[in-house]
Amino acid sequence: MRVALFVTCLIDAFFPEVAKSAVRVLRRHGVEVDVPRTQTCCGQPAYNSGYREEAREVAKQLIRAFDGSACVVTPSGSCAAMVRCEYPRLFADDPEWRPRAEALAAKTYEFSEFLVNVLGVEDPGVTFPARATVHASCHMTRGLGVKDEPLCLLKRVKGLELCPLPYREDCCGFGGTFAVKMAGISAAMADEKIDHIEETEAEVLIGSDMGCLWHLGGRLSRRGKPLRVLHVAQVLDGGRE
């Protein structure tokens, strides 16, 4: 099976190690991975800020980049939700681009969702001895509807002890441009989330969206907390950073 990896702009610019881990894990499960060089941002920052026309122009380039791909996988629940849930709405009144947007939406999967629901992976075949807790991002759970797939995989990682996170459903306060426009509220929401993370006595915080993990990792660092912060793909890659 061959898939195209939608890296996302955040991972490309700041966390390329996450994309490398995603590629290694996919290859370990027998998947050939292509990374189209013409891919861009999905347009979510502009879309969420009300700049619909600008978001459409960015989205058109992403659609072109994956036109020839049979299946698209991304290590971001948020960007997968943008493509799958919002692209059809973004082009609802465009007879030329709506079918192309719907086609991309139909073949796009979040990373853990693809492993569990498409490949049927039950045992990721990896060892990572640590005590960890898992952050569930809003767009992935409430937007995309992907809730259990990361946990299904993480529960089978040998040596990994998962600690339930109190108020797991609460937002971390990132929200893309929300963190910039409402910095004080955003930081307060992160601090509340971190208080709950500390209650678990975890050594590692795991998530599926680097926006959330970047935000929480920054607040953890400012508070002098030595927790490791890893994407699910990195844990399934044996904890490589």
pLDDT value of position 131? 97
Could you tell me the CA-to-CA distances from 181 to 25, 41, 214, 220 in Å, in that order? Answer: 36, 20, 17, 21
pLDDT above 90: residue 241: no
Q: Which residue has the higher pLDDT, 178 or 107?
A: 107
pLDDT value of position 84? 97
Residue 133's pLDDT band, with cuts at 50, 70 and 90, is very high
Q: Across residues 27-49, what is the average pLDDT?
A: 96
Kindly report the number of other CB atoms within 10 A of residue 32's CB atom.
9
Q: What is the mean pLDDT of the chain?
A: 95
Radius of gyration of the chain (CA): 17
pLDDT value of position 167? 93
What would the pLDDT profile of 144-157 be if each residue is shown by its tens digit?
999 999 999 999 99
pLDDT above 90: residue 187: yes
pLDDT value of position 89? 95
pLDDT value of position 239? 87
pLDDT above 90: residue 186: yes
With 0-12 / 13-18 / 19 or more C-beta atoms within 10 angstroms meaning exposed / middle / buried, residue 132 is buried
pLDDT value of position 16? 97
